Amino acid sequence: MNVLTDNWSLYGEGFLGTVELTVYSSALALALGFLMASFRVAPVGSLRTFGTVWVTVLRNTPLTLLFFAVLLGLPRFGLVLPFTLFAVIALGCYTSAFVCEVLRSGINTVPTGQGEAARSLGMTFRQTLAAVVLPQAFRSVIPPIGSTLIALAKNSAIAGAFSVTELLGTYKTLNELGYNIIWTFVWIAAGYLIITLTISAVFHLLERRWGVAR
């Protein structure tokens, strides 16, 4: 227990760093995921191609490689940002590809008659998607989106290797101070468990309120 009590501020800083990464990256992933899902079902061929390329490239690129590309590549083009923001971009973009595919599968569950009825009323594609299709699609994919964001929270551990303050990175300092490595990781695991269970609880509430009855 002394590993935690003697280093409460260190654990707290790492825990809050992981929470911050998770929240901001999740917001970016959801926004980009909704956008790319819209592109993938758009009637414009160039938008469908862009969405397909985005998903294909990011889903088949290792996250660590994407971190290297963002944190080391973007500054070469004159874009210099805090490492935490670079990590948010990498995590958010990577996860957006998975959110996009989850949403697209949800869109495919919406009866085509819904869209046809909306267009017969004079609604544009954008209005049909925003007001008719996506709300119904989101209701059917709440659980898998929750699982995707839980994976994002765990993937945030990679950011510690790039000088970003997060929970897993605390083990380096504690190991140098001579603390028992097993108990160090036990408390780190407890921190991740709190985060993932919180996300799970939030999406469970969303599913109970808005989910589609099976």
Residue among 145, 137, 139, 153 at smallest CA distance from 188? 153
For the chain, the average pLDDT equals 86
CB 146 within 8 A of CB 195: no
Banded model confidence at residue 46, pLDDT cuts 50, 70, 90: very high
Amino acid (one-letter) located at 134? L
User: First CA to last CA across the chain, in angstroms?
Assistant: 44
Q: For residue 112, which amino acid is it? A: T
pLDDT bracket for residue 177 (50, 70, 90): low
Tell me the C-alpha to C-alpha distance, in Å, between residue 51 and each of 19, 55, 125, 128, 201: 29, 6, 17, 19, 31
What is this structure's pTM? 0.88
d(CA 59, CA 54): 8
Output 161 or 197, whichever has higher pLDDT.
197
Residues 6+ apart with CB under 8 A from 190: none
Task: Check residue 61 and report its DSSP letter.
Answer: S
What does the pLDDT look like over 131-166, one tens digit per residue?
788 888 888 899 999 999 999 999 999 988 888 888
Q: How far apart are the C-alpha atoms of 32 and 93, rounded to whole Å?
A: 7
